[in-house]
Amino acid sequence: MAGTERGARGGRPVRRRRRARGGRSARGGRTPGAAGAARWTTDRRWRHDLGTALLCAALLLGLALLVDGVRGSLDLPRAALWLGLAVLLHAALHPVRTGARPGELRTWGLVRRHTVRTDRLVSLTETGGLVPRLLLRDTSGHRLSCETAVLTANPLLWHRLDTDLRTSRRLGLLRTGAEVLDRLEERVDREVLGEEGTRGA
């Protein structure tokens, strides 16, 4: 019979395992050594910022319920009102998560996510204001906005992005943003040197 062979002792047919294409065995598991998707390098401060947002919402809810309870005015409608306000506060404070992997930069919000091809960028600009932000656009027209402070506070994240930005620059795709790239590199260097100085003190 095709695909079988006789055992050395019992004479029972032993079916050979076949490998399917794409690095998977015939039983469906991925074979060892199969290439997986590149891992994301993400904002190391995000979990802390998320905890702060949750704490603020919880404090608002707890304080409002406590005051109403002491005054004797707490009922189901008012409890639902305070809960809704706490949810709205968390939604306003919920931090956007930023991550990078080879060729991509992505931000995750509560509802939407945005992705740009960092090795195919055509423009890189920085906005002023209270919270400076970077605006990136790739050859497909996809746009992404992220806080400049996120990149300067995460050297690994910046290194991943910087590598792809220089690829876009070398290919002649990045038409605007070369000076922004140089300024950001200086800021990241100062941030790293500041951290090293703090640890050595």
User: Which pLDDT tens digit goes with each residue over 115-172?
Assistant: 999 999 999 898 877 888 989 999 999 999 998 889 888 888 888 888 888 888 888 8
User: Which pLDDT tens digit goes with each residue over 57-88?
Assistant: 999 999 999 999 999 898 999 999 999 999 99
The pair phi, psi for residue 111, each rounded to 5°, is: -115, -45
Cβ contacts of residue 3 below 8 Å, gap of 6+? 15, 16, 18
- Alpha carbons 121 and 107: distance in angstroms, whole number: 16
Roughly what angle, to the nearest 10 degrees, separates helices 46-71 and 76-93?
Answer: 160
Give which of 164, 160, 98 is closest to 134, Cα–Cα: 98
| Per-residue b or e along 77-94, where b marks 16 or more CB atoms closer than 10 Å to that residue's CB | eeeeebeeebeebbeeeb
Q: What is the pLDDT of residue 197?
A: 54
- Alpha carbons 29 and 144: distance in angstroms, whole number: 36
Q: Which DSSP string corresponds to 149-183?
A: HHHHT-HHHHHHHHHHHHHHHHTT---B-HHHHHH
Whole-prediction pTM value? 0.68
Q: What is the pLDDT of residue 148?
A: 87
